[in-house]
Structure 1
Amino acid sequence: MSIGRRMGRAALAGLVVLVTVLSGLWGALALWYQLPLGSVMRTVAAAVWLIGAIALLVFAAVQRSWLPLAAYGLAYLVLLGWWATIKPSNDRIWSDDVAQLLSGTVQGSQVTLQHVRNFTWRTDDDYDVHWETRQYDLEHLVSADAVLSYWGSPAIAHAMISFGFDDGRHVVFSVEIRKERGESYSPIGGFFRQFETILVAADERDIIRVRTNVRGEDDYLYPLQMDKQAMRALFLSYVQAANELVGTPTFYNTLTSNCTTIVYRMARQISTDLPRDYRLLLTGYLPEYFHDVGVVDRSISVDQLRQRSRITDLARRSGRADDFSKAIRARAE
């Protein structure tokens, strides 16, 4: 057998091993996250699947036969068939903070938002529930700010957009996971249809303050340089996205359908010039991306911009009786 042929067979064998192992691992995680069983049984099912995949791979190598791999392929098709039956839903027992779906109606420049969240948070488990119907006149829309909230890695942040009006009011839109009651966030689970997507509209005192003052996160507010027409279009894109989620529930995906990628897709409808970039996934580096594409102040460096945009201390010093939106913008010029 020629060297080229042996190398080709070795490469094919390596590819088969890689595909089998990766698909086996994916299948194990899919079973663990989605089987409607207790944690022990889900662990057993996932382990059996993964061990079975590896055993068939070894058996195929020892016997020099493709039949074990064909059996695995058939089992994998059955698994994919089951996976296709898992559908998103708006009908579950949800956590209080995501219990209501945002919706909006638009009449000319007047926008009415139903289920705007305005909770008073003392701890993550102690809060006053308050949902509101609010009206906004887009003729009085004057600002759009990107809010980034960090809780661990400098590479990862939760991204939100806050719109400001000339009467001092602000409303924040945030794409989030829709947790069921008692459920906690898992970035891996976000790859395996564990969560639905929700678009939350909330008062800044609620959605920013809970992160800085209750959860100990580090928040930054970046004023965006957008003309009024673009701000209005982006606001209406959020309203449209919210209404679509009411009629068509969607799974959250850690990589492809998260807090930043959805905003990016909406922004691309307004300006097709926005480039794709790894920083749309590593959201902690969005300030550099904003700076590069020119949607923030470029008269200063990114480091100066970041320092000027940090609002954590301002938020933590604010009292409950203070105008929170005004307080977090009271930075030195």
Structure 2
Amino acid sequence: MSAMIVTTLLVLLVVVAIGIAIFLIFTNPSLSRDWSPDQALMPSVDFINEKRVRVKNIRNINYRTTRDYDLDYYDKEFDLDEVISAWLAISPFGGPGAAHAFLSFGLKDGSFIAVSIEIRRKKGQRFSPVKAFMRQFEIMYVIADETDVIRVRTNCVKYTVRLFPVQTEKALIQQVFLDVLKRADKLGKDPEFYNTVWNNCTTNIIRHTRRFSQKPIPFWNIRYLLPDSLDKIAYRLNIIDTHLSYDAAREHFDITKYAQATKPDDNFSTAIRNHLKIRPVD
């Protein structure tokens, strides 16, 4: 290949790279697109006072398949001191290491509020890590009933879900929960792009947690990109409430078969935890 051809190709590559960079720089996130129906409604939060909140549009969709479902939402008002437990959920999908991580918070009344940080899909869109790096998806905090975000994974798409109890002070759990609510509410007014590397499900969980935790949670780790083994970091830092070995804990806190065995009239959150060996909350 002649020097002239090589030079021409290099120039073309530079021009294309500059064009892509300009496109990305001037592409802005939006709240107004033709959203997938199950992600069209964003959550919002009324911060009534320092101790009390009203969470609006908690999603409670009954998924028969990922395309066939009944839309349902509800609001819930409660004091922050009613939040007494936190759970880390990890659901592997796709290739090695690929997974979705999300949180769930338990209340004194026995209910649970899950927070799943996801791309906000337009109609017909599917997740792509490459597109997610190229400012092609907005980010949203799905605040939902566990029956929604767990069952759709275990029962509809047949993914595994591991659900780990978090071992920490209730005050810290409440601080993290409030921080999550503030960000969820803000995204309903000021949209952002999802990013595969620095604004994904796991990096946001880490930021919320590091803001209040005294544990040496790494600012960055390759597992934040491939979070199927994020539980290894949590286990090593004694964040998971268990005396089991790491491998045994992974098996014990796999709630997939229990979720798949639930019936419509069951209390879903209770049914998926009945077998778990955890210390009672004071």
Q: Structure 2 length normalisation: TM-score?
A: 0.90
Distance 1:263 1:332, change over 3 A: closer
Tell me which residue corresponds to 1:97.
38
2: distance between equivalents of 1:315 and 1:173? 18
Deviation at 1:243, TM superposition (A): 1.9
Shift of 1:184: 1.4
> How far did residue 89 of structure 1 move?
0.5
Which of 196, 207, 212 aligns to 1:265? It is 207
Q: Shift of residue 217 of structure 1?
A: 0.7
Match of 1:292 among 221, 229, 236: 236
Name the structure with the higher helix share.
1
Q: Does 1:277 align with 2:218?
A: no
Deviation at 1:142? 1.3
Q: Which residue of 2 aligns with 1:233?
A: 175
Amino acid at match of 1:136: F
Structure-2 change in CA distance of 1:69 and 1:119 (3 Å): closer
Match of 1:320 in 2: 264
Shift of 1:79: 4.2
Who is 2:280 aligned against?
none
Q: 1:295 to 1:74 in 2, by over 3 A?
A: same
Query: Which residue pairs with 2:74 in the alignment?
Result: 132
Measured in 1, the distance between the counterparts of 2:94 and 2:41 equals 28
- CA distance in structure 1 between the aligned counterparts of 2:110 and 2:147, rounded to whole angstroms: 13
Q: How many residues align?
A: 274
Q: 1:68 to 1:283 in 2, by over 3 A?
A: closer
Secondary structure in structure 1 of the residue aligned to 2:161: strand
Structure 1 residue corresponding to 2:21, chosen from 41, 62, 80: 80
* 8 Å contact from structure 2 (residues 253, 276) kept in 1: no
Provide the C-alpha distance between the structure 2 equivalents of 1:168 and 1:285, rounded to a whole number of angstroms: 29
State the percentage of identical aligned residues: 34
Tell me the CA shift for residue 67 of structure 1: 8.2
Q: Work out the CA distance in 2 between the residues paired with 1:164 and 1:331.
A: 17
Is 1:254 the counterpart of 2:196? The answer is yes
In structure 2, the CA distance between the partners of 1:63 and 1:244, relative to structure 1 (3 Å rule), is same
CA distance in 2, matches of 1:268, 1:192: 27
Asked whether the equivalents of residues 104 and 243 of structure 1 are also in contact (C-alpha less than 8 Å), the reply is yes
Q: Which residue of 2 aligns with 1:224?
A: 166
Q: How far does residue 70 in structure 1 lie from its aligned partner after superposition?
A: 5.8
Q: CA deviation at 1:297?
A: 3.1
Q: Kindly indicate whether the alpha-carbon contact (under 8 Å) linking 1:101 and 1:246 is maintained by their aligned counterparts in 2.
A: yes
The structure with more radius of gyration: 1
CA RMSD of aligned residues (A): 2.0
- The residue number in structure 1 matching 2:247 is 303
Q: In the aligned structure 1, how far is the partner of 2:203 from the partner of 2:5?
A: 47
Contact 1:297 1:305 in 2 (8 A): no
Task: Specify the SS of the correspondent of 1:197.
Answer: strand
Q: For residue 277 of structure 1, report the CA deviation from its aligned partner.
A: 2.2
Note closer, same or farther for the CA distance 1:214–1:302 as it changes in structure 2 (3 Å cut): same
Task: Report the Cα distance in structure 2 between the residues aligned to 1:99 and 1:263, rounded to whole angstroms.
Answer: 23
